[in-house]
Amino acid sequence: MLWGKTMKYSYRTGLLFGVLLIIASVLFLPPFQVEGQRTNQGKTSLRSEMIVSTDWLADHLNDPKVVVLHVARERGHFDEGHIPGARFVGWGEITATRDGVPNELAPVADLQKVFERVGIGNDARIVVYGDNSGLSAARAYFTLDYLGHGERVALLDGGLEKWKAERRTTSTDKVEPKTVRFTPHVRASAVTNLDVVRDFSWTATNVTSPSAVLIDARPVEEYTGAKPGDGVPRGGHIPGAVNVFWMQNVQSKENPVLRSVAELRKLYEEAGALPGRTFVTYCRTGGQASHAYFTLKYLGYDVVMYDGSFFEWSNTEGTPIVAGRERK
């Protein structure tokens, strides 16, 4: 009889303990980790593999699985001195004018030929740097990400500017890589169009907590319309867009090292960054927006780019435009 009472008591005690344990786990343990997010303070997960240091590159220059791309608007930027072994890709090789809009993504078949010619193949680790404080490198990253190869591309932090400042070796030798097979796996979701951005703009100006944030990566004078920019007939910005000039992502024009993660997070959180929101970047013709695209993806956010950018928006009849610093 005593044995039976003891068993009943032990069972009830164990059951009570189990219930209390479950309640404690719900109240005090961190939530399950969601893909693309950290468990601490809801921060997005940093994609640290998207940048490499000059030290890392110096240690891997002779690695056959590493391909270095030098991207610039003019060939002379490469010829006057490049990182040893780097292959040249011209800005004009990865962009095209479509329906009067400059600097659009070039046709996939053309891009495939470019990357096959420089010998990057389908499995190499790709490190990109270039002119204009990293702007051309970021455009190359966006292009390769669009082609489905972004997971193996990294920007050289600080670019050629930092490499030279550290007095590392440069070369003027011609590089003649072997042509290899490059297979595009187009990610249509990396880029968006005017009609979709029109909807995003309406949401950004009419919904309290919109699911998307429009980032205008141009200088403030272009955002306000004070200096519209070449080919822009109507100055200002897309309604609802927040201005985060792309140069705010780096230390300076002369030292284009990315700012600290804490500084970058603060910059974009002030612009409306929240886990679960999608960023839509644009500029005048898609160049500056590429750097914003890279930086936001590096920080772990979902991001797409409006490649036609404000050039297309401003030249399209009936699209609303806001002048001045007000978002809407």
> Is residue 204 within 8 Å of residue 239, measured between CB atoms?
yes
- CA dist 16 and 13 (Å) reads 5
Strands in 66-72's sheet, in edge-to-edge order, are 51-52, 153-156, 125-130, 66-72, 87-90
For residue 95, what are the β-bridge partners? 105
Q: Comparing C-alpha atoms, which of 65, 154, 66, 149 is closest to residue 111? A: 149
Q: Which of these, 77, 101, 107, 105, lies nearest to 89 by C-alpha position?
A: 77
Angle at 91 between CA 152 and CA 175, to 5 degrees: 70
**Known catalytic residue at 283:** yes
- Strands (DSSP E) along the chain, which ranges? 51-52, 66-72, 87-90, 95-98, 101-105, 125-130, 153-156, 191-192, 212-216, 242-243, 278-282, 302-306
DSSP 70-100: EEESSTHHHHT-B-TT-EEEEHHHHEEEETT
Q: Which among 153, 280, 283, 299 is annotated as catalytic?
A: 283
- Rounded CA gap, 240 and 257, in Å? 30
Q: Can you tell me which residue has the tokens 């007939």? A: 233
| Alpha carbon 223 to its chain's center | 20
- Write phi, then psi, for 110 (nearest 5 degrees): -70, -40
Cα 26 from Cα 20, distance rounded (Å): 10
CA–CA distance, 50 with 225 (Å, rounded to integer):
34
Catalytic residue list: 283
